[in-house]
Chain A
């Protein structure tokens, strides 16, 4: 059995807790005695504080067991009313830095599956579900992701005009997506009845919310325009710029307008 290392620390701590527990019991039985015990309690608290503040810390892919036992101590101290010495404010930078690295690693696979871009909320769920315990808060996630730009990681946080936040591969370019969307919008069905977010999601193999963001971005760049009606919300390939206001009837050969006319003609 190891004397040093995790189990050693835990065992020592176990002994400490047991003695602490005994102290507490005696103290509560006798208020006067409590006063004298108080000095002991303060010393104990100080020792615990030192324990928590010291010890090995930053390693990429930090030891979960170690973080776990520290977390346990913090939680226990909180429950007996002793404020945790290692608050997020004091160890904040460190905590989020560690988390940041963990996350950069963790998102690789989900990002791949999602096609290069994934909603922040989805990562929040996936990560916490994988953690099981010591769940991170949304603020933690946001802060950890914001730190990425300071480090050389292949992922980045991105906010759309609509407010939706996503994590994407740095190598992911919008141009690629627009090219795919454009070709989708030029397919016969899309020319006739438009392209909805769910259509795009299915074909591109991404989440509908992501597809909608892409469609909206393509619209803002002028590739698409929208059709809003009782039938729903669709996008069509944009060819307004091809039409000459001084000759409303002219359709340029082989342009997008021409392609649309030929495809849609059949249904009129």
Chain B
């Protein structure tokens, strides 16, 4: 079985039509579904948060069959993810796409679980510590995208689960949990 990074590639990844945006509506719908799933799986496995349309993205090419997705195709598949709420365009020109292989809500839940499991209910942590501190190692929070983390934290702040405050230096924001 072919692999791309840690992701097992399904057989249809070697089907040339998979890399051509299909014009027939029903066929395209099926094709789009398959690409959405594969993109989310790959990003989850490789912990990729942003896809740049103008850069090479390994999943969008298959050297075995010598096929690459056109820009139009990439945009179509990513737009479908955006429509479903599993991705967001980071710019008007649709050049960069934020992939939410966990929705913000899911990240928020993961943070809460992390806090409880580590007995951090009333403590203070920096934002950086949440995503790169020793406690986060081995958890999904480790290495997560800062933008996504901030969004999740803001959502939790909104629910009164924590408070975000500025630290001593510009990027030293902290969090006070109050679960």
Which residues of A approach B to under 8 Å, CB–CB? 194, 219-220, 222, 225-231, 234, 236, 238-241, 243, 245-246, 248-249, 251, 257, 260-261, 264, 268
> Are B20 and A226 closer than 8 Å at their CB atoms?
yes
> Are B64 and A245 closer than 8 Å at their CB atoms?
no
How far does the alpha carbon of A87 sit from the alpha carbon of B121 in the complex, in Å?
Answer: 98
How far does the alpha carbon of A239 sit from the alpha carbon of B31 in the complex, in Å?
Answer: 10
Most buried by B among A219, A227, A231, A264: A227
| A-B CB contact pairs (8 Å), 28 listed | A194-B16, A219-B24, A220-B24, A222-B24, A222-B26, A225-B20, A226-B22, A227-B17, A227-B19, A227-B67, A229-B20, A234-B16, A238-B17, A240-B27, A240-B30, A241-B26, A243-B30, A245-B33, A246-B37, A248-B10, A248-B12, A248-B37, A249-B8, A257-B12, A264-B14, A264-B15, A268-B2, A268-B14
How far does the alpha carbon of A236 sit from the alpha carbon of B11 in the complex, in Å?
Answer: 15
How far does the alpha carbon of A257 sit from the alpha carbon of B41 in the complex, in Å?
Answer: 21
> Are B27 and A225 closer than 8 Å at their CB atoms?
yes
| Contacts A229-B16, A246-B37, A249-B8 known; 14 new A-B pairs at CB < 8 A | A219-B24, A225-B24, A226-B17, A226-B22, A226-B23, A240-B17, A240-B22, A240-B27, A243-B12, A245-B34, A248-B10, A248-B38, A260-B15, A268-B64
Verify if B171 is at the interface (C-beta below 8 Å from A).
no
- Give 3 nearest A-B pairs by CB, closest first: A240-B30, A227-B16, A225-B17
Expressed in whole angstroms, the minimum distance between the Cβ of B95 and any Cβ of chain A is: 24
- Give the interface size class of chain B: 20 to 34
> Are B67 and A243 closer than 8 Å at their CB atoms?
no
How far does the alpha carbon of A114 sit from the alpha carbon of B61 in the complex, in Å?
Answer: 41
Verify if B66 is at the interface (C-beta below 8 Å from A).
yes
How far does the alpha carbon of A251 sit from the alpha carbon of B10 in the complex, in Å?
Answer: 10
The one of A222, A231, A264 in contact with B27, judged by C-beta atoms closer than 8 angstroms, is A222
How far does the alpha carbon of A142 sit from the alpha carbon of B13 in the complex, in Å?
Answer: 47
> Are B34 and A243 closer than 8 Å at their CB atoms?
yes
Expressed in whole angstroms, the minimum distance between the Cβ of A162 and any Cβ of chain B is: 12
In the complex, chain B residues 36-75 whose Cβ is within 8 Å of any chain A Cβ: 36-38, 41, 64, 66-67
Report B-chain residues with C-beta under 8 Å of the C-beta of A261.
Answer: 11
Most buried by A among B23, B30, B36, B38: B30
How far does the alpha carbon of A220 sit from the alpha carbon of B31 in the complex, in Å?
Answer: 15
The one of B15, B20, B37 in contact with A228, judged by C-beta atoms closer than 8 angstroms, is B20
How far does the alpha carbon of A49 sit from the alpha carbon of B45 in the complex, in Å?
Answer: 89
> Are B20 and A249 closer than 8 Å at their CB atoms?
no
Report B-chain residues with C-beta under 8 Å of the C-beta of A243.
Answer: 10, 12, 30, 34
> Are A241 and B66 closer than 8 Å at their CB atoms?
no
Report A-chain residues with C-beta under 8 Å of the C-beta of B16.
Answer: 194, 227, 229, 234, 236
How far does the alpha carbon of A240 sit from the alpha carbon of B16 in the complex, in Å?
Answer: 12
Report A-chain residues with C-beta under 8 Å of the C-beta of B22.
Answer: 225-226, 240
Report B-chain residues with C-beta under 8 Å of the C-beta of A260.
Answer: 15
Q: 1/0 contact trace for B126-169 toward A, CB 8 Å?
A: 00000000000000000000000000000000000000000000
> Are B24 and A229 closer than 8 Å at their CB atoms?
no
How far does the alpha carbon of A193 sit from the alpha carbon of B15 in the complex, in Å?
Answer: 10
How far does the alpha carbon of A219 sit from the alpha carbon of B19 in the complex, in Å?
Answer: 16
**Contact A229 to B66, CB < 8 A, known contacts A194-B16, A236-B16, A248-B34:** yes
Expressed in whole angstroms, the minimum distance between the Cβ of A216 and any Cβ of chain B is: 9
